[in-house]
Structure 1
């Protein structure tokens, strides 16, 4: 049985297929990928068909899921620091977690969940203050949810960072979005921080509570019941997600290397197979990257359950304030909580590890 075999061209964002049975090259392109550790094999007979059965599509997806991918975008493959990178160490990385600033529905004491509402004026101030607190901590890549209140917080916080890099949202939803958002200046790439958005980091969906007032619901259903809906691990609000369900999507995204899906797209002239990949978080830390995650109370509570190895009972008392950064250090496969950075003019947090102290020293030298 003849198969079409695909190998990556190192240093590019495209992978082209080999020749099919008739001697013509199959026009496959794989976007936003820097390396493949295996070889993808798809029977060319599938490529000549104008329709694919669900079982054939499923087979392709299973094949793709066997891959182990490393960092997939050139902007993420190195720190691109404008300073000397000798302060970096291969086994020590910073992880910053920030809950978004106050939203307009936080202000109104409403259940928000996945409703996409912006920040208040106070939330804008909180995001700016969070940026000041982490302004001396290195950031190579940022992950945020698909919701505007988290994305606003990212952008406002980065206006305060001393590295002066520009946060740029990565658009890999499809081939055109990827193509149209390319940056062709290498120097500008080095002055940018990629921002990866992921629905898996969204707030948990509060179901039939979304848009309702928390105090009014406590009076109607009882404080104890509302507390269970909001803080317990395995109790879901009506029609919504429990923290356990939120944990499954948020922590899976945090931990795993890549989830891939193959889309076989029909074209009048030929077929294109596009693999969309998601760059996930813990592997970035393992490779020495410094990561910031800006998300929501419950998606971050889920991640903290994983980082701090909390029990389902301990998480009940875990509450996160809006706009307050939390710092972890990742070293030799372990996460070490370092609390909240005290502020841009405070030096105490940088005594936690040598790499942060050296990074701040480099920033100080640049400012002279």
Structure 2
């Protein structure tokens, strides 16, 4: 049995500006840096040592993972970067202010684009699309890592992690729109034979 730590990156500058980000490689905000360091401190308080770490190719996830590892005294541990763990692609919504988008298209339509499982925004990815690249990587690379190592960490994004949580927590297509993952909060799973047998959320 292995421990799997999932953590959404700390707040990014576009999170702070209420903009759709997706694949745009924006940095962490000052609050996001603090969130990442705090997450590392909470894991350090648990006495956790990471054996192998995965992240997306986007700097907000990479740097979150780095700040966490530094808090654990493991700043020299190399993270494995994988595009499959990138945030969902928001297509025509990328860079747009979320409130302005709601004013233009309506609250209900924007909610559907953001939270439905299989309805994408214009020229973008739905969560189902994101799952089709994230889940194979999760099952073929990350799950085997939990069998070979004691502690595996994944620093990624709200939607790529929602895809993973959908599998780990056995969440239905109808329930997944209601799942929220806070920035900078570690989800600690105990995994056996590719299945979650325990889960803790390390809030502040």
TM bracket (short chain): over 0.9
Q: Secondary structure at the match of 1:312?
A: coil
Residue 160 of structure 1 corresponds to: 71
Counterpart in the other structure of 2:41: 132
Partner of 1:285: 146
Contact 1:208 1:240 in 2 (8 A): yes
Instruction: Tell me if the contact between 1:328 and 1:335 (Cα under 8 Å) persists in the aligned partners.
Output: yes
Determine the C-alpha separation between the residues in 2 that align with 1:334 and 1:212: 38
CA displacement at 1:342 relative to structure 2: 5.0
1:256-267, aligned counterparts within 5 Å? 256=140
Match in the other structure for 2:157? 296
How far residue 311 of structure 1 moved from its aligned partner, in angstroms, is 0.7
In structure 1, the residue corresponding to 2:190 is in which secondary structure?
A: strand
Offset at 1:288?
3.6
Deviation at residue 121 of structure 1 after TM alignment:
0.5
Paired residues of 2:143 and 2:194 also in contact (CA < 8 A):
no
Deviations 1:170-225, CA, capped at 9 Å, x for gaps: xxxxxxxxxxxxxxxxxxxxxxx231000000000000000000011011101010
Question: Is it true that 1:115 corresponds to 2:32 in the alignment?
Answer: no
Matched, 1:142 2:26: no
User: 1:207 corresponds to which residue?
Assistant: 91
| Residue pair 2:40, 2:68 contacting (<8 A) in 1 also | yes
Q: Secondary structure at the residue paired with 1:306?
A: helix
How far apart are residue 332 of structure 1 and its match?
Answer: 4.0
TM-score, normalised with respect to structure 1: 0.54
Return the alpha-carbon distance in structure 1 between the equivalents of residues 74 and 36 of structure 2.
17
Alignment partners' CA distance in 2, 1:165 and 1:137: 11
Partner Cα distance (2:68, 2:151) in 1? 16
Q: 1:94, 1:138 within 8 Å by CA — same for their partners in 2? A: no
Deviation at 1:137, TM superposition (A): 1.7
How far is the alpha carbon of 1:337 from its aligned partner? 3.9
The one of 169, 172, 180 equivalent to 1:308 is 169
Aligned residues: 202
Provide the aligned C-alpha RMSD in A.
1.2
Cα distance in 2 between the residues matched to 1:209 and 1:295: 20
The offset of 1:128, in angstroms, is 0.3
| TM-score normalised by structure 2 residue count | 0.95
Please give the alpha-carbon distance, in whole angstroms, between the structure 2 residues aligned to 1:317 and 1:282: 25
- Superposed displacement of residue 293, structure 1: 0.3
Call closer, same or farther: CA 1:240–1:337 in 2, change over 3 Å: farther
| Helix, strand or coil at the partner of 1:166 | coil
Structure-1 separation of matches of 2:146 and 2:185: 21
2:188 counterpart SS class: strand
Separation (CA, whole Å) in 1 of partners of 2:195 and 2:115: 26
| Uncovered stretches (5+) of structure 1, i.e. residues with no partner | 1-91, 168-192, 257-279, 344-368
Superposed structure 1 runs of 4+ greater than 3 Å apart = none
Q: Structure 2: how far apart are the matches of 1:153 and 1:336?
A: 26
Give the number of the structure whose alpha-carbon radius of gyration is greater: 1
Give the secondary structure class of the aligned counterpart of 2:78: strand
SS of the counterpart of 2:196? strand
Gaps of 5+ in 2: none
